[in-house]
Chain A
């Protein structure tokens, strides 16, 4: 492809050294980006590099703690989504929010429907206007049909059409291709080209580097909440981008004791859930940590859910300690010695409005009760024991878990499952949204568990965590296991290559 990038005198949008903290967590330390009219600009970085925070600043959802935002050369503050839209910035999210019951045209023009005489909505005009936008974008969507049932790709197109009808000049697409088919991606790229031709700037966020090269003229790389570099696309290569994205030292956060693994305790054979993942087979041995790595949306969590029986599997078997699990039966999985710490602790891991001790006891109620009645004292003892073991910091056991910090909430979830003394622990994003100190504690805890002979299946989007903790790394891409790397083989580049489908060189 021939990048015909020309650099006009004045940028459309400049964000310079923006910072943003949430409590003690510093999500963005140096958010900087410059967008020129008529360019598609890629923003890349690992999960947690600060891209989402930067996008939310542009969307007006977050206000930066410091830093400068200039639109058309004028300093601007965006005090909300409406202000952002008025300033000509539109965000296309991966899963747009539309009005399912209303027509596509009305979705685009809600609140701004063209009026005829007597302030009556001119439906014909509205359809024509919508059709005009679609024609400009070169896509076919029936403006009269209801939004319900539109594919994700079409929903995004409707959002883009809405953005254009607002005369947006900066259009941010946050991982728009994650849920699209190849054909749909091609159509989206045509739309991006049409937008560029109209002089808009498109900020394109994607993990798929081949897409970045296919459509963008410039790329900005972020790492650990900081701007790393920004360059014309012809000055970089996939390898140099990956290096800039991950290039950092593994620190002492990961106290890894390498142990000799024992017998297989969890065996997964040919696990398939149609349309989600396909023919996944692996085994986890006593005393080892196996990591499932891959991009967000690759199907890692879905595999874990099916192993535990939350989602039914279409094919395949799951065996724990020689016992074949029934399909779709988490109870059976628990009885066999499986424990599952889900990714979203607020929604799935905890009952936020329930006291700490009740939450800890939740998975062990059978053991704590006599004649069907829960013995309050044993519940409290259990919570105290595990609270001490995990160094849980809390006010009183009676307080609801919603009063705890993220790290301590995660410890409560861990306590809940460890109280069952599982032989296999599945843990999805063990340290997401947790401060650095507690992260290290969780890692130490996992290390101790493994030393005690527990088998751990860990899903993590943080590569340092994967590399620091795992004995083996399984890489999932688009619902398939594409690589198995030993601790020695695994490094950031080899995992990223497998996860993004780059076949450059061997995984080593």
Chain B
């Protein structure tokens, strides 16, 4: 009674795990690849213009990338969940002005209060973004695009044509922007510390792994009992907090703020995140990669300046890089999929 009537050709024996391993390493090496790109750009530019390797220039490379890298950390959290936060530039601008205004009226306030205020302002807007996205279920692209304009508008009203200038900012606060330890500016040390801490957290806590789960497969995440709304909300709050902190750091670096501070940063940040290997559809990518993406973009733009290439090329190259990164990701994704599907091919429909 049990004639197995049909036996399809057996597939090749389970593939050597080695190939899969290699594909994986390739994926993991994304940070390495960006690091390498930074080194190559740096080396080539230095050959052409020896001043590029000088201390001041190096510091410029790092500080120039620091703010974008900081915002990219928060943005990574958001994009990993398949959302986006376009309000970070506006939040940074408003936060910078409010912190400056606070020091104008309280010239002797402790430095730490300035940072706390910045974080508070940013968190507020992050919470609002997060609430509208998760409770009202409005797509975050729309929510944060609206927030971008609304906050910029509030900024214009608050600033009212005025400007914060360096004389009204306590020098101890400004010192964070220019003083350095072992040649590394404080600003950079703070951002690197945040990248490392958040990077560790994103690998190591259940709550942060939930973010990846949500972005990778929302349906499966819900089935696995992940509290999706709560996690996405937290990602927006943290992104806002970091943008607020970015405002305070902006003030300490430049000591001068008008109503355009930080405008256009949001796109630089998204570009850095994507170049840094974070999938725009969520689910994968690291904070370190995003920060390195920011550094790469800044290195290229500085390299163009140092090589006396017209600054018009700057944006074109940033755009090409962005496109290149996404095309590379898709190509890699396809290759990995093909590599891995060669095991257990479907013979029977």
Contacts and interface: CB of A to CB of B under 8 A. Distances in A.
Given A153-B344, A298-B349, A181 B209 contact: no
Interface string A145-177: 110111111100000000000000000000000
> Which of B27, B210, B344, B348 has the most A CB atoms < 10 Å from its CB?
B348
A503 B3 CA distance: 9
A215 to B, nearest CB: 11
Given A120-B204, A150-B340, A145 B209 contact: no
Contacts of A503: 3, 5
B11 to A, nearest CB: 5
B165 interface: no
B204 A121 contact: yes
B349 A478 contact: yes
B310 interface: no
Interface in B300-320: none
B339 interface: yes
A100 B223 contact: no
A8 interface: no
Contacts of B10: 181-183
Interface string B334-349: 0011011101111111
Interface string A465-508: 00000000000001100000000000000000000011100000
B288 interface: no
A501 B7 CA distance: 11
Given A100-B283, A214-B2, A151 B349 contact: no
A98 B341 contact: no
> Which of A98, A149, A277 has the most B CB atoms < 10 Å from its CB?
A149
A69 B333 CA distance: 45
A111 B230 CA distance: 14
B7 A238 contact: no
Given A121-B204, A145-B20, A503-B3, A181 B212 contact: no
B17 A210 contact: no
A103 to B, nearest CB: 9
A502 B5 CA distance: 7
Given A110-B226, A181-B10, A213-B2, A276 B209 contact: no
- Interface size of A as a range: 35 or more
A88 interface: no
Interface stretch (B98-106, B128-136, B214-222): B214-222
B344 A181 contact: yes
Nearest to A214: B2
Interface in A62-113: 81-82, 97-102, 106, 110-111, 113
Interface in B1-36: 1-8, 10-11, 14, 17, 20-21, 24, 27
A299 interface: yes
A167 to B, nearest CB: 16
A110 B219 CA distance: 13
B5 A210 contact: yes
Contacts of A144: 24
Given A101-B283, A113-B209, A148 B348 contact: no
A237 B283 contact: no
Contacts of A121: 203-206, 209
Nearest to B24: A145
Nearest to A112: B206
B279 interface: yes
A294 to B, nearest CB: 10
A372 interface: no
A100 B281 CA distance: 12
Contacts of B7: 182
Nearest to B220: A97
Nearest to B347: A181
A148 B24 CA distance: 11
A183 B11 contact: yes
B182 interface: no
Contact of A111 (B1, B2, B226, B341): B226
B346 A237 contact: no
Given A99-B217, A145-B20, A182-B7, A151 B209 contact: no
B217 A110 contact: no
B209 A106 contact: yes
A213 B1 contact: yes
Given A145-B340, A149-B339, A182-B347, 14 more contacts: A99-B216, A101-B212, A101-B279, A102-B283, A110-B209, A111-B224, A121-B209, A145-B21, A145-B24, A181-B344, A182-B348, A183-B10, A299-B349, A478-B8
Interface of B: 1-8, 10-11, 14, 17, 20-21, 24, 27, 203-206, 209-210, 212-213, 215-217, 219-221, 223-226, 279, 283-284, 333, 336-337, 339-341, 343-349
The 6 A-B pairs at the shortest CB distance, nearest first, are namely A149-B340, A151-B344, A101-B283, A99-B216, A101-B284, A101-B216
